[in-house]
């Protein structure tokens, strides 16, 4: 059985965990003194730690060794995803974390049904990204940013936007040596004006196949072509 993983703010010789991390270790995983676990700081550093003391609401750890994790993509990948109905954005954040996204940016587009994203939802999405990083053994937690309008997306060095009416494939244009931006639209799709704006900002429209994908499926399919498809 693989060792438990815990997120810590900083890898220090002595670490005290409280809050949700301590609750998960003690009440869910039943950690006790003498157990070993993997700790990570969310920025690429991992370590092996021993549980020294367990008290109500707190766990004290002793750090035994540290190392730099090697599970991130060679270049950063930013996923821009339109605001989605229901809890679909949470599903996208979870899967995108597993697939190696470096940053996840919710965007507001012309045809978005949902028009805003509050602080409570943002904090929940960040917590989902952290839990997904623990589950898939990443040591970097992708940043989930506040929502921004599509018009505020910066020019990118290499970008791809999913478009149902083009035939160009991502693999024919993708360069793994460049930072990559990926973008998918909402349930109502992107307007032609929005596609034109994205092309001006460095995005290439690409196909995800002949079938029309749901708005929550498209970002995962597009990201999979880059990471899972390339084995990175």
Q: Which residues of the chain have pLDDT under 70?
A: 1-2
Let me know how long the chain is.
232
Same domain for 215 and 115? yes
Same domain for 211 and 104? yes
Q: Using the 3D structure, point to which of 51, 68, 85 is the last residue of a domain.
A: 68
Q: Containing H/E element for 52?
A: strand 45-55
Q: Residue 80's closest CA among 65, 101, 95, 63?
A: 101
| pLDDT number for residue 231 | 79
| pLDDT number for residue 1 | 54
Residue 129 lies in a domain: yes
Same domain for 203 and 110? yes
Same domain for 37 and 132? no
- Give the domain CATH number at 15: 2.40.240.20
Domain count, the chain: 2
Range of 15's domain?
4-68
| pLDDT number for residue 87 | 94
Residue 47 lies in a domain: yes
- Give the domain CATH number at 211: 3.40.1280.10
Strand, coil or helix: what is 229? coil
Residue 130 lies in a domain: yes
Same domain for 31 and 98? no
Residue 48 lies in a domain: yes
| pLDDT number for residue 20 | 83
Same domain for 173 and 134? yes
Same domain for 216 and 153? yes
Same domain for 114 and 205? yes
Classify the C-alpha dihedral 69-71-74-75 as positive or negative: negative
Residue 54 lies in a domain: yes
Residue 97 lies in a domain: yes
Question: What CA–CA distance (Å, rounded) separates 210 from 230?
Answer: 21
Which residues, 6 or more positions from 22, have their beta carbon under 8 angstroms from its beta carbon? 57, 58, 59
Same domain for 105 and 194? yes
Residue 232 lies in a domain: no
| pLDDT number for residue 195 | 97
Q: Using the 3D structure, point to which of 68, 92, 123 is the last residue of a domain.
A: 68
Same domain for 59 and 88? no
| pLDDT number for residue 30 | 85
Same domain for 100 and 53? no
* Percent over 90 (pLDDT), the chain: 84
Same domain for 111 and 46? no
Question: What CA–CA distance (Å, rounded) separates 68 from 87?
Answer: 34
Residue 231 lies in a domain: no
Q: Using the 3D structure, point to which of 68, 97, 113 is the last residue of a domain.
A: 68
| pLDDT number for residue 2 | 65
């Amino acid at each position: 059985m693989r060792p438990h993983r815990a997120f810590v703010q900083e890898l220090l010789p002595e670490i005290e965990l409280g809050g949700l991390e301590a609750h998960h270790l003690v009440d869910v995983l039943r950690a006790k003194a003498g157990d070993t676990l993997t700790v990570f700081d969310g920025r690429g550093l991992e370590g092996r730690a021993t549980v020294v003391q367990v008290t109500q609401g707190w766990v004290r750890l002793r750090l035994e060794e540290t190392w730099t994790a090697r599970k991130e993509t060679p270049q950063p990948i930013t996923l821009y995803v339109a605001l989605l109905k229901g809890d679909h954005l949470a599903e996208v954040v979870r899967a995108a974390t597993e697939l190696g996204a470096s940053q996840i940016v919710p965007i507001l587009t012309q045809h978005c049904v949902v028009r805003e994203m509050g602080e409570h939802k943002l904090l929940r999405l960040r917590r989902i990204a952290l839990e997904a990083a623990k589950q898939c053994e990443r040591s970097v937690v992708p940043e989930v940013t506040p929502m921004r309008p599509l018009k505020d997306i910066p020019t990118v060095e290499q970008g791809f936007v999913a478009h149902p009416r083009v035939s160009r494939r991502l693999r024919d244009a993708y360069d793994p040596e460049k930072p990559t931006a990926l973008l998918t639209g909402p349930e109502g799709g992107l307007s032609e004006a929005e596609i034109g704006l994205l092309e001006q900002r460095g995005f290439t429209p690409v196909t995800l196949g002949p079938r029309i994908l749901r708005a929550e499926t498209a970002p995962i399919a597009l990201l999979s072509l880059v990471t899972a498809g390339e084995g990175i």
